Amino acid sequence: MNAQPQPADAGAPASPARRPRVMVLFGGRSGEHAISCATAGGVLRALDRDRYDVLAVGITPEGHWVLADDDPDRWSIAEGRLPQVEDAQAHVQLPQSSSDREVHLVQNGDVPLPLGEVDVVFPLLHGPFGEDGTLQGMLELADVRYVGDGVLASAVGMDKHMMKLVFAGQGLPVGPFVVLLPGAYDRDPEAQTERVRALGLPVFVKPARAGSSLGITRVDDLADLPAAIAEAQCHDPKIVVEAAIVGREIECGVLGGHHGERARASLPGEIVVDAGKHAFYDFEAKYLDEAAVRLACPADLPEDVTQRVREIAVQAFEALGCEGLARVDVFVTPDDEVIVNEINTMPGFTPFSMYPRMWEATGLTYPELVDELVRLALERPTGLR
């Protein structure tokens, strides 16, 4: 019997499958640019290079996309120095159609230089122009998979006004607040001051669409309200004023939410601020004055309260239609009532941030957490789902 003809490569070892390529995207145009860079440093260090190819791309404060240094140390906050993405002559361009996976480098009108295909983007941008649904919409248009929440959840989660309306509409407990729409205070300061007065003092004046405690002022005397509003308006023309809630500041991480499976919640953590140094958990306390803050994880709460915090965190995640990850911040009052403060759809993500620390306490290491988020994103299609 004649032997059957064999293919030319018969007996040769199979070529290894291509590793998924992850674009770590960070920086951005918001006031949280430096925090985004620090977050990227942690993720760049944690990504398993045996499992993934990595492309680091930074967005400058002016909005230019550039190839970035893949060295995690380059992006750390050290001795009060805040990292920043610098512009370059060549800019990175996403795929231009759903049939294209190639990322290109474009310079001075020259022929674009291909940088290879990208399978998933890990968008580590905080604040407007990144965490607010704008970037997510851009990636959806390019048909590029990405880590984290979609367009609607990101947009609603960024806007404290809309976020609170959705939470309240879903029956979640939310503290008293008023919204000062753009120009409202300038048109009638007396009427808007009366609305704030009805909340009682103290109040917290916040930009509606900013994070990392930027532009937030605690007001104990209504005479200080105009200055607090002016400070918030430096970040956003729309302002939320919240009544102070007496209670412990508790946070809870939520993860998953794909393929019809319910998301799961981490053990809660607690932020304890040295009241002698900071009136509340402001930007400096978060990032520049580590001695003023203690992060307790897991939080020392009764078991039934812990379970209530975890359940409400998942309910808040589901109310906004979140996917992938979010951190839910709540207050636990002296009588153990749980009140939702806000949700962060791209929480601080350095190894020392509360979100990874809460998952570490729950049994998921930082590299495992990063890996799960990438894997979830690779499994999730773009478009309606």
Q: Is 50 exceeded by the pLDDT of residue 179?
A: yes
CATH number, residue 79: 3.40.50.20
What is each CA distance from 375 to 132, 142, 301, in whole angstroms? 23, 20, 32
**Do both 119 and 231 map to the same domain?**
no
CATH number, residue 221: 3.30.1490.20
Average pLDDT for 95-121: 88
The whole domain housing 254 covers 157-173+246-379
Is residue 4 assigned to a domain?
no
Give Cβ neighbours of residue 335 (< 8 Å, ≥ 6 apart). Answer: none
Q: Is 45 helix (H, G, I), strand (E, B) or coil?
A: helix
**Do both 216 and 293 map to the same domain?**
no
Mean pLDDT, rounded, of the chain: 89
**Do both 372 and 282 map to the same domain?**
yes
Is the distance from CB of 163 to CB of 343 less than 8 angstroms? yes
Cα–Cα distance, 229 to 236 (Å, whole number): 10
pLDDT value at residue 278? 45
Q: Put residue 324 in one of left, alpha, beta given phi > 0 → left and psi -120 to 50 → alpha.
A: left
pLDDT value at residue 16? 53
Is residue 141 assigned to a domain?
yes
| pLDDT level of residue 290 (50, 70, 90 thresholds) | low
Residue, of 180 and 351, whose pLDDT is higher: 180
Is residue 152 assigned to a domain?
no
Is residue 31 assigned to a domain?
yes
Query: What's the predicted TM-score (pTM) here?
Result: 0.88
